[in-house]
Amino acid sequence: MSKVETLLKQREFRTFLFLILLFVIAGIVNMDFLSLGNIQNVLKSSLLYIVLAIGMTFVLLTGNIDISVGGVLGLSAAVSGIILRDGASIILAIFIAILIGILIGLINGLGVTILKISSFIMTLGMLGILRVIQVIYTDGKWIENLPLAFKQLSQLNIFGINMLAIIVIVAVMVIQLYLSKGNKGRYFAAIGDNEDGAILLGIPVKRYKTYAFIISSVCASIAGLIFASQIGFISTTAGLGIEMTVIAATVLGGVSLIGGLGSVVGASIGAIIMTSIISALVYMKVPAFWNDAISGSLLIIIVVTDAFLARKSSKQAKRERLNARVIQKEV
């Protein structure tokens, strides 16, 4: 019984149960939602959000936030798309996209750590700048006629399993081990949990905060490549509003908005849930314009719940410290 209680206390497990419940409810309304083909489509569509959620997890763990991921996705997809359309190699397009992510992440990180700009303001401003750059670079036109070889990258299968899905799942497992078991991987959560304490322990806080923003932007650039490969074209609005969905997915998966708590496994499950909700609305014949309203409402509920749980956890920690002091005094 104690093992069951321990399992239920894990936020990732509760998030997984919510995912199962979502599928059951949607399946009751429309059994076609539970078809193998739809489940595969949901998982395939969620890969983009999982990659974005991985990057967002690093930033949130440090107690910051990255609003610019949608802009990074759009610009990276546009630049790499034009490069591919003009006949360059796929490797060069991937290299340029990742380079864009590193540069933008570095600017965000330095703005937050050196200039002391709020991460919300810094990345929100960067989002607006990137949107303008994308429109100017593409001349406000869609990018089409991408090479067939590039579009087929997201369709490759190994033993009937999508190769991209395998790569993403392996990446999630490796990153989870790094963040939970690696000494330096735990720096990110330590910074978000107690920044002053992390400084006293000798952790290079500014450097790892910057790393977090770079990782987030690189993940957004990779997501841009996935987007271009899956969709086959890049519109001027590519990635528009996706940051809200990613933040909601990440927090839904158990990553705290105040930092110091969360995992990429939970964030990945949250990404699948958000994708499943969009798919479920289609099968339940809910008008598409409700998507943003439902995502926004869910984000508010998640944030309020997260704040409540954080306050409760803080009170519990203070109570335990007080009890420990009383016991020591009595001894």
List the one residue out of 272, 255, 261, 238 whose CA is nearest residue 186. 261
In whole angstroms, what is the distance from residue 214 CA to residue 297 CA? 29
Query: Tens digit of pLDDT per residue, the chain (331 long)?
Result: 466 666 666 777 878 888 888 888 888 888 888 888 888 888 888 999 999 999 999 999 999 999 999 999 999 999 999 999 998 899 999 999 999 999 999 999 999 999 999 999 999 999 999 999 999 999 989 998 899 999 888 888 887 788 999 999 999 999 999 999 988 999 999 999 899 999 999 999 999 999 999 999 999 999 999 999 999 889 988 988 899 889 989 988 889 888 888 899 999 999 999 898 888 888 887 776 777 777 677 767 766 776 676 666 656 655 654 454 445 545 5
pLDDT at 279: 86
What are the contacts of 82-88 at 24+ separation with CB within 8 A?
Answer: 82/137, 82/138, 82/143, 84/146, 84/147, 84/150, 85/143, 85/144, 85/145, 85/146, 85/147
Longest dimension (CA), the chain: 77
Write the CA distances from 280 to 99, 103, 160, 247, integer angstroms.
Answer: 36, 37, 25, 20
Write the CA distances from 52 to 5, 134, 212, 222, 244, integer angstroms.
Answer: 31, 19, 13, 9, 11
In whole angstroms, what is the distance from residue 80 CA to residue 294 CA? 32
In whole angstroms, what is the distance from residue 195 CA to residue 203 CA? 9
Q: Please check whether residue 69 is in contact with residue 216, taking contact to mean a CB–CB distance below 8 angstroms.
A: yes
Please report where in the chains the tokens 């409402």 appear, as a residue: 297
pLDDT at 326: 43
Please report where in the chains the tokens 């306050």 appear, as a residue: 311
Write the CA distances from 144 to 48, 73, 84, 140, 240, integer angstroms.
Answer: 20, 17, 10, 13, 18
Number of H helices, E strands in the chain: 14, 2
pLDDT at 211: 97
pLDDT at 111: 97
pLDDT at 260: 86
pLDDT at 322: 47
List the one residue out of 92, 103, 255, 243 whose CA is nearest residue 179. 255
H or E stretch covering 16: helix 11-29
Q: What is the sign, positive or negative, of the torsion defined by CA atoms of 313, 316, 320, 322?
A: positive
In order, the DSSP letters of 268-303 are: HHHHHHHHHHHHHHHHTT--TTHHHHHHHHHHHHHH
Q: Please check whether residue 258 is in contact with residue 4, taking contact to mean a CB–CB distance below 8 angstroms.
A: no
